[in-house]
Structure 1
Amino acid sequence: MRPAGRDETDSLYFTYPHFNEPRGEARAHLSDAVPVVIVGAGPVGMVAALSLAREGVRSVLVEARSSFNDGSRAICIARQSFHILQSLGALEPFLAKALGWTTGRSFYRGKQILEFTMPDGPSEKFRPMYNLQQQYIEAYLYQAIAANPLIETRWQSEVVGMHSGPVGVDLTIRDPEATYALKADWLLAADGARSPVRRMLGLKLRGENYEGRYVIADIRMQHDYPTIRRALFDPACRPGGTVLIHKQPDDIWRIDYQLASGESETEALREDTVRKSVALVLEDIGYSGSWDLEWWSIYSANTLALDEYRHGRVVFIGDSAHIVPIFGVRGLNNGIADAHNIGWKLGRVLNGRAGEDLLDSYTPERRGATLDVFANATKSARFMTPPSHGWRIMRDAALGLALEHPFAGELANPRQMTPFTYARSPAVLPDDPGFAGGAAPGAAMPDAALTDGFLCDRIGSGYTLVCFDEELSDEVSRLPDAPEVVCLDFPSDASRMLGANASSAYLVRPDLHIAARWREASAGRIADAIKTLSFRKD
């Protein structure tokens, strides 16, 4: 919602483009069959399209809107998502605009009870977290989409019918000019929490709904507080409630404040009510300068998911597959990981480099990640929005204890998102027992500072072997379907971080997770692993 007199794209700081439906010659091929249709051109759908394109696979993005999402919405981009953006060639505008941060502070009744710092250091190219409004996230991804000849985007195009069969999906699409049929070999549903695709298949999310409701308000003000995530518990402006405050680019600040249990949503969303509520928050944090109201909305905390993310030739990604609480900033980042995961797998199936059984790893990996998010986010949600009187008594007791005892303040730590480890995935090989340290198969490949940059800069677009022996590097480079090879110095910070000796090697998947590792590697063992991980029957 926006202030009176301004429409939904009349922003104080962002110019929304307007995209027409396909016109002219483009309409001549609207019904031509395509390998993949992606429903939804938000961040998750666009990451999926870019991931497929990296494997050389064409896709069509179908989007009912005529522009990007309004309002900041998802704003926190985790370090691992920046690694994904780099792998997709979309990084530079994000680095130039986003605000990196490492620190969070929590306050109880105006007194600081916790300051946490997320892991960071010179071995990391990217900061643990970045703040950037969703409009920019979508705009920067679309820059990469528009420059890629393998991706077609159809705006103002709504899926109004669908039939999924054993060899493809038949779609009926309506745009302002006509309704037409489109056949795809595969469909990726990135159409959000109210997914029409999910509804057409008769599927439902299952899980828990929480009572806590929050108003999001974006405001513009010149405030010199650093880029630090602030959480206010039981503040004077919201007795008994919680307030979150994030700094964003362009002097935009995101304020989330909790509604009381009996507070009317209709009344809370009135412009004058929002202005009064924001003014009280600003007074609470000691800001007395001028400010402008940009946009506002409302959300509640839920942990909901499909039992299976793949249904025949239809695969669900992002909010269409799961809805997670915002606490710990896991929603967008979880969706980006979904899209990258299915993108490289489906891409390799369609380009003939992998068998279709590889796709059976998608649900266990990404639903496993969702359940891990639920486990952590549920703890945060119960602390941020206690679901019962008993929970509130315990939460307030912990906060009161934190006023005098710093250890209790750790209970207010939101447990920021970390990449999930696919330890039991069929697309990951068992660990080598010879390792005493380092990152195990299934984990995200850690970064390392090198003499000429960072390890993440050297990881290729397909499978990549990281080793420390030039002779092994040469042998692996000559293998059929050879991975890209990165040979690092030994000994080095990287070898110590990976727990490696001179004969060790790590095989990294296209989604930057470790597929296998060997304490004493050989070209033969690596060749066998690549064959196994291809899931081909030839």
Structure 2
Amino acid sequence: MRPSGRGELDSLYFDYPHFDPPARPEVEPQTPVAVVGAGPVGMVAALTLAQHGVRSVLLDAKDTFNDGSRAICISRSSYHILDQLGIAAPFLEKSLGWTKGRSFYRGRQILEFDMPDSADEKFRPMYNLQQQYIEAFLWKAVAASPLIETRWQSRVTGLEQAPEGAVLTVEDPNGRYALPARWVIAADGARSAMRGMCGLRLKGENYEGRYIIADVKMAHDYPTIRRALFDPACRPGGTVLIHRQPDDIWRIDYQLREDETNEEATREENVRASVEGVLAEIGHDGGYALEWWSVYSANTLLLDDYRQGHVFFAGDSAHIVPIFGVRGLNNGIADGHNIGWKLAAVLNRAAGESLLDSYTPERRGATLDVFANATKSTRFMTPPTHGWRVMRDAALSLALSRQSAGHLANPRQMTPHTYADSPATTPDDPGFDAGPIPGAMIRDVALEDGFLSERLGKGLTLLAFGDPGLDMPPGLSVLRLPADGPVARAYGAVQGSAYLVRPDLHVAARWRKVTPEKLALALGRMAISEEETA
């Protein structure tokens, strides 16, 4: 929603483009992959496919980007994905990195936390950037790719599946047509039409807590630090979150009372009154301009299976996660990248189709991991019952005099999920005393000429310490590292050790002493033979 007198896309800081409907070919050949939804998740999936040489058709019913700032927090792990795709530069130039958070109870600070960071990390733990810019930067890369055909104003209204693939019914201003595809990635959001066409529904919990998101433009000199206000004078009994964004835009999320209806709360005069109360609470006495607002509730919902036949679900079409812990967008970006490189491996005949069986265990497992952590934060931010509220308020009161109690208000920023139970992950070698375990994301290390993450290949990469003493399969990127260098120390490696790293920077296997047989078994778990890597 926008203030009275301004259009739906009349932003104070962002110019929305307009995309015309597509000119279609007279004969529609089968596309290797159809990606439904041109939001961040769909565009990451299409860019990942293109990076591995696979064509896709990207469809979206809209004629522009999503309105409002929406998802604003991009994690370090997502920046690594953007970096792997070669498109991180504009994100880094525009976004605001941050490491610190502060929590307040009734106007007094009870917690200041720092997320893990060091000189060995190429990226900061978190960056703030409005979703319009996220989509604009991704779109620039999509539009430049000859392997991605984007069709705006194209709504998918039907789906049929057969052994050889799927056929989508698509409607645009020029009519209706059939689009055959070998595989389909459904990234069409929380109200996914694709999910409904497959007869699927999200399952889980709906929480009572509701929030208004309000973006305001103002000159305010507080640093880029996440602030959480518990039981502030401006919203007694509620919670307020405040984030700084580029272009002097500030995100204010404030909890609604049980007696406030969505209709009342979203009226402009009520939003302004609430925003002005928050600004007074934080000591801002300057002017502001109201940019945009919306309402949301915290839910933990997901599909039982992220795949149905030739259709894979990614992002909000597969799961809805609470905002607390800022994992919605980041979880979706990881979905798109995960299924993108796996479908590319299958379509390029570098892997068998059984590799695709690892998508649901990995990404649904990641969602459940998010739920386990975010549910704790959600119950703290928006207590679901009187009993939870009493315990939450008691902990906050205790934090006024006992520093350790303040950590209960920590939003639990998460590290990337570890795919330890994935069928594509090889059980660990017990000989290591350091380094990322199989399934975990790699640990970056600063080198004399950059970072370890920058030296990995786009496909599978073997980190070989010293001379492993074996012939490497053709097509497998090999990064030879000294057995006494900084990476070896960080990874607990010795002469002959090796780590097998996937395109998404997760460790597929590691060995204290690698052998041809061990390497072949690990590739086999990923449905990759030595012949297929050629």
Scaled by the length of structure 2, the TM-score of the pair is 0.97
SS in 1 for 2:468: helix
Residue type of the partner of 1:84?
Answer: I
Rounded to whole Å, the distance in 2 between the matches of 1:180 and 1:498 is 53
Q: Which residue of 2 aligns with 1:22?
A: 22
Alignment partners' CA distance in 2, 1:79 and 1:286? 31
Q: Which amino acid aligns with 2:527?
A: S
- 2:302 — aligned with what? 305
Does residue 220 of structure 1 match 2:217? yes
After superposition, give the CA deviation of every residue in 1:330-353 in whole Å (9 maximum; x if it has no partner).
000000111111111111001100
Mapped to 2, the partners of 1:348 and 1:264 lie a distance apart of 50
Q: Is the 8 A contact 2:468 2:495 kept in 1?
A: no
**Corresponding residue of 1:6:** 6
User: What is the CA-CA distance between 1:504 and the residue it aligns to?
Assistant: 1.2
Equivalent residue, structure 2, for 1:485 = 478
2:502 match: 509
Write the distance in 2 (CA, Å) between the matches of 1:241 and 1:161: 44
Deviations 1:69-95 (A, max 9, x none): 111100000000000000011111001
The equivalent residue for 1:472 is 468
Counterpart among 480, 500, 516 of residue 493 in structure 2: 500
Alignment map for 1:191-202 (pairs within 5 Å): 191-202=188-199
Residue 492 of structure 1 deviates from its aligned partner by 2.2
Provide structure 2 residue ranges, at least 5 long, that are not aligned to the other structure. Answer: none
Aligned residue among 275, 295, 303 for 1:278: 275
| Counterpart residue number, 1:179 | 176
| Rounded Cα–Cα distance in structure 2 between residues aligned with 1:524 and 1:363 | 28
SS in 2 for 1:28: coil
Q: Are the counterparts in 2 of residues 30 and 182 from structure 1 also a CA contact under 8 Å? A: no
In structure 2, C-alpha distance between the alignment counterparts of 1:481 and 1:503, rounded to whole Å: 19
Local SS of the residue matching 1:443:
coil
Aligned partners of 2:155 and 2:170 also within 8 Å: yes
- Judge conservation of contact 2:186–2:313 (CA < 8 Å) in 1: yes
Structure 2 Cα separation of the partners of residues 493 and 299 of structure 1 = 46
- The equivalent residue for 1:328 is 325
Give the conservation status (yes or no) of the 8 Å contact 2:34–2:185: yes
Please identify, of 207-216 and 459-468, the stretch whose mean Cα deviation from structure 2 is larger: 459-468
Task: Give the partner amino acid of 2:22.
Answer: P
Distance 2:11 2:42 in 1: 24
Q: Show the 5 A alignment for 1:147-296.
A: 147-296=144-293
Q: C-alpha offsets along residues 187-237 of structure 1, whole Å, 9 cap, x if unaligned? A: 110000110000111111000000000000001011110000000000001
2:425–2:522: 8 Å Cα contact kept in structure 1?
Answer: no
Flag structure 1 segments of 5+ consecutive residues without an equivalent. Answer: none
- Paired positions, count: 531
Does structure 1 residue 39 correspond to structure 2 residue 69? Answer: no
Question: Which of residues 505, 508, 511 in structure 2 aligns to 1:518?
Answer: 511
Q: Tell me if the contact between 2:468 and 2:498 (Cα under 8 Å) persists in the aligned partners.
A: no
* Identical aligned residues as a percent: 66
- CA distance in 2 between partners of 1:380 and 1:354 (Å): 40
Q: 1:404 maps to what in 2?
A: 401
CA-to-partner distance for each residue in 1:91-149, whole Å, 9 max, x for gaps?
11001111000000000000000001000000000000000000000000111111111
Could you say what secondary structure the match of 1:173 adopts? strand
Does residue 428 (structure 1) correspond to residue 425 (structure 2)? The answer is yes
Rounded Cα–Cα distance in structure 1 between residues aligned with 2:509 and 2:477: 15
- SS of the residue corresponding to residue 534 of structure 1 reads coil
Q: Which amino acid aligns with 2:261?
A: S
Give the Cα–Cα distance (whole angstroms) in 1 for the partners of residues 468 and 39 of structure 2. 43
Shift of 1:434: 1.0
CA contact (8 A) 1:108 1:399 kept: yes
8 Å contact from structure 2 (residues 423, 525) kept in 1: no
Contact 1:232 1:242 in 2 (8 A): yes
Pick the aligned partner of 1:342 from 332, 339, 344. 339
Report the secondary structure of 1:217's partner residue.
strand
Q: Is the 8 A contact 2:55 2:147 kept in 1?
A: yes
The alignment partner of 2:25 has SS state of helix
Task: Give 3-state SS (helix, strand or coil) of 1:57's partner.
Answer: coil
**Kept in 2: contact 1:356–1:535 (CA 8 A):** no
Match of 2:48 among 46, 51, 58: 51
- The answer to whether the 8 A contact 1:507-1:515 is kept is yes
Secondary structure of 2:180's aligned partner: strand
Secondary structure in structure 1 of the residue aligned to 2:526: helix
Q: Indicate the residue corresponding to 1:533 in structure 2.
A: 526
